[in-house]
A and B are shown apart, each in its own frame.
Chain A
Amino acid sequence: MNIFRSAAAVLAVAGLMTTAAGNALADYPEKPVKIIVPTDAGGAIDGIARIFQRAFEQDEEFGATVVVTNMPGAGGTLATREIKDADPDGYTIGLWHNGLVTSAAMGVTDFDHTAFDIIGSTGFVALGLGVNAESGPESFEAMLEQAQQEPESIKVAVNIGLPVHFIPLMVSEANGGNMRMVQAGGGAKRLSSVLGGHTHTALFSVQELVKYRESGLKPVVVFSEERVPQLPDVPTTREAGIDVLATDGRIWLAPKGVPEDRMQVLRAAFERAMEQPEVKDQLESYGITPAFIDSDAVTAELSRVRDEVLPLVEKVRAAAN
């Protein structure tokens, strides 16, 4: 009797242990997962974080609470540093864009995308240039021509040291380095500068280009390989003979050293979320083509951006002084 009982106990314990061992993988996540967002609540990046927060919480297989923590400041670098320095246990992840690379290039941070375990990307945003519909250049080609004939006569509203500065600068360089970059600030400031006639053009996301059309902004070129469906009449840079391609990624980051099995759980959760129709709809409303892009592709793209940006850093610094 005693023997039976103890044997049963041993079996029970052993059974518990095997399930415990078996679930060591499946147990992640067993506490809330934190998403650090480098902007205020209410912005485009924050909106995307919250789309996935909802999707994860409804996902029974993931089965954990998700908390969004906003940590704006210093061009997103406060938050990216916080993500980088977090415990690599898979319970702290974050979301940011290509500014990750430009901040490092400008020396604002001492780390770039290689300091993280990249989970993947939930899509890239198409970009383009907009001009003042009334007083601006007729077309992208007309703008390039004017810049060649009269250097510095085309002014570009930028936000120094960020992708919105580097991308038009690449256009200018490809055209012979003849456009003048003028600091304006965030999206609304750049719009105001172009519409007020103080500058000629600025970089916007395709979604912004569509939205600001009625305010008087005219899209003239997109930086994609092919024309974008939202703006079928707008040519690409390549059509105009300028070999500059650019997008803005929505990149999910984890601190370096997260166990591979946990990364797999996260990636699987993203892939499941992106198959949900409402997530697709919501992402499309942010101007994103919904597709989960794996970490190798994201790393390759960010490294490409870094290699493009680094040679231009001195020019960017010089422009400000």
Chain B
Amino acid sequence: MLASLGGALLEMLHPVPFFWVALGVVSGIFVGAIPGLSGGMLIVLVMPLTFYMDHTLALILMVGIYVGSVAGGLISATLLRMPGTPSSVVTTFDGYPMARGGQPARALALGISASLFGGFVAGFFLVVLSPPLSRWATSFGPWEYFGLVLMALVLIAAISQGSMVKGLISGALGLLAAMPGLNASDGQLRLTFGFHQMDAGFALLPVLLGVFVVSQIIRDAMDGDKVPEAVDVSRNIVLLEAAAWVRHAWNMLRSALIGTWIGILPGVGASISSMVAYGVARTVSRRPDAFGKGSEEGVVASESANNANVGGALIPLVTMGIPGSPIDAFLLGALLLHNIQPGPLLFQTNGDLVWAIIAAYLVGNVLMFLVMSTTVRFTARLANINPAVLLPAIFVFCIIGAYALSNRLFDVWVMIGFGILGFLLQRAAFPLGAFVIGFVLSPIFEAELRSAVMSSGGTIWELFTRPIALTFIAVAVLVLFLPLLRGLRRRPGDGPDEAGQTRQSKP
């Protein structure tokens, strides 16, 4: 294991892989820093550009973007009180007050350092847990996957954002969008209404481009020209002194562990990790009243957790082929586009690729730290870019990307249609992350259930002889009904807790 990791890390230092991971990190930081653009958007946009790239290079580029964008979001969160990416919402709570209070460099240094630390803790677990977990997961049959996916579907709907009902509806719409086309489970066409263009259903890439990118373009276009004013950093290099590292070490570690663990839970994104870590940090803090007014601990907790979440979320992806967050659903799509079947055998059949992904994650975190620490003043100015300048170019890339998938114009129309749908969902505060997870997971869910039933000769009773599958389903049922039970105990009007209030419009 260590040899494989060492080999992959050395490989990552070769010029070509290093170039791609560095390009990913830098571009990720940039899009992360620009409000209105997110790492997920960039990953979906580059996906068609990687069709003819080596699959390993394509994946390390995307992992680089992932790491860079989650960290890059803290810049605009701190200096503008605008989360550059959804996962840095919580960073605005204390980062911005610190910046306004004359400590912008300090706030950024804390955030950047915590991001690195969180990334490394999660990286440790990624390296240590993935191989045994994938070996364990080879024993998973259709029943276990069915349970796992059910749990993921419920978790994303329940925990993702404020309203569970909206989460479930959004997830169900995603499921509906995945229905048409050739159904692999019985080899028959379904819901194509006689249109042969629909024989393949709605392809993953046009749907993702539509829901994530086109919807955002429509929104930004409607918002008009708004150029926010940023706090100036006044320093070129921001670094945290050793004493502060020591002082915040425990908070960083705790938040990183929370982030990693929540990341492993399938379907839950980085924003939840930072919310939970923030909540815990406030609860155990000696100065809870400072939270929300520029607490250093708040910035550290949020940023350590959201970067750790990235590493944690890669674990179910590389070991079981189940996305740990919406962005991992994009990476899953990228693997499929490159003809690589994600799943427990990935370590055996494409071991080099898995280790390259892990190494890219670790190297990406170091690069992120170096780049952010030294270029923050420049990157902060990116936040002032008017998105209107970027939108036309992005839209063109979307169209090329959707068309390139199958060389069909139909996919472009699908993308635009889902763009409008995504825009409307967003307006009505339905979480788009749940839609995507529903869209990606429901075909797996159906295939595994039908496969399981076929395997047991047409009955579902075999499920009850499978403890692992039963456990997953039990967790799913608990998560689904726990809020109901709690709601019965609580009087109406008690209001949601802190995490429930911090809604945001993107996953």
A interface residues (Cβ-Cβ under 8 A, vs B): 40-43, 69-75, 77-78, 81, 106-108, 152, 155, 159-162, 165, 180-189, 191-193, 195-199, 215, 316-317, 319-321
Contact of B51 among A41, A43, A69 (CB under 8 A): A41
Per the CB 8 Å criterion, the residue count for chain B at the interface is: 42
Q: How far is the CA of A9 from the CA of B471 in the complex (A)?
A: 91
Q: Which residues of the other chain, A, contact B52 by a CB distance below 8 angstroms? A: 41
A181–B181 Cα distance when bound, in Å, is 23
CB distance from A120 to the nearest CB of B (A): 25
| A320 and B187 contact, CB distance less than 8 A | yes
Bound-state CA distance A184–B341 (Å) is 12
Q: In the complex, which residues 47-79 of chain B have their Cβ closer than 8 Å to any Cβ of chain A? A: 51-52, 55
Contact B187 A316 (CB under 8 A): yes
Q: Which residues of B contact A186 (CB under 8 A)?
A: 341
* B131 interface hit (Cβ, 8 Å): no
Given contacts A74-B199, A182-B454, A215-B349, list 19 more A-B pairs with CB under 8 A.
A40-B51, A40-B337, A41-B51, A74-B181, A75-B187, A78-B197, A108-B182, A108-B187, A161-B187, A181-B454, A183-B451, A185-B184, A188-B341, A193-B141, A196-B344, A198-B142, A198-B455, A320-B185, A320-B188
Residues on A with beta carbons closer than 8 Å to the beta carbon of B100 = none
Enumerate B140-170 residues with CB–CB distance to A below 8 Å: 140-142
Task: Check B184–A160 contact: CB distance below 8 A.
Answer: yes
State which of A106, A192, A198 has its C-beta within 8 Å of the C-beta of B345. Answer: A192
With CB as the reference atom, state the residue of chain B lying closest to A77.
Answer: B199
The reply on B348 being an interface residue by CB < 8 A is: yes
Would you call A196 and B140 a contact (CB within 8 A)?
Answer: yes
Name the A residues within 8 Å of B408 (CB-CB). Answer: 71, 78
Q: CB-defined interface of B336-378 with A at 8 Å, one 1/0 digit per residue?
A: 0111110111001100000000000000000000000000000
Residue B496 interfacial (CB < 8 Å) = no
The distance from the CB of B201 to the nearest CB of chain A, in whole angstroms, is 8
B141–A198 CB distance below 8 A? yes
Chain B positions within 8 Å of A, measured between CB atoms, are 51-52, 55, 138-142, 181-182, 184-189, 196-197, 199-201, 203, 337-341, 343-345, 348-349, 405-408, 447, 450-451, 454-455, 457
User: Residues of A contacting B188 with CB < 8 Å?
Assistant: 106-108, 161, 317, 320
B349 touches A184 (CB 8 A): no
Looking at the assembled complex, report how far the CB atom of B352 sits from the nearest CB atom of chain A, in whole angstroms: 14
Q: Which residue of A lies closest to B142 (CB)?
A: A198
Q: Name 27 interchain pairs, CB-CB below 8 A, sorted by A.
A: A72-B406, A73-B181, A73-B200, A73-B203, A77-B182, A78-B199, A107-B189, A108-B187, A108-B188, A152-B457, A161-B186, A161-B187, A162-B187, A180-B455, A180-B457, A181-B454, A183-B454, A186-B341, A187-B341, A192-B341, A192-B344, A193-B141, A196-B139, A316-B187, A320-B186, A320-B187, A321-B186
In the assembled complex, the Cα of A108 lies from the Cα of B200 at a distance in Å of 11
Contacting pair B406 A78 (CB below 8 A): yes
Report the bound CA distance from A42 to B196 in whole Å: 25
Residues of B within 8 A of A191 (CB): 345, 349
- A150–B381 alpha-carbon span in the complex (Å): 73
Q: Which of A72, A181, A196, A321 has the most CB of B within 10 A?
A: A196
Q: Which residues of the other chain, B, contact A165 by a CB distance below 8 angstroms?
A: 187
Cross-chain contact of B450 among A183, A189, A195 (Cβ < 8 A): A183
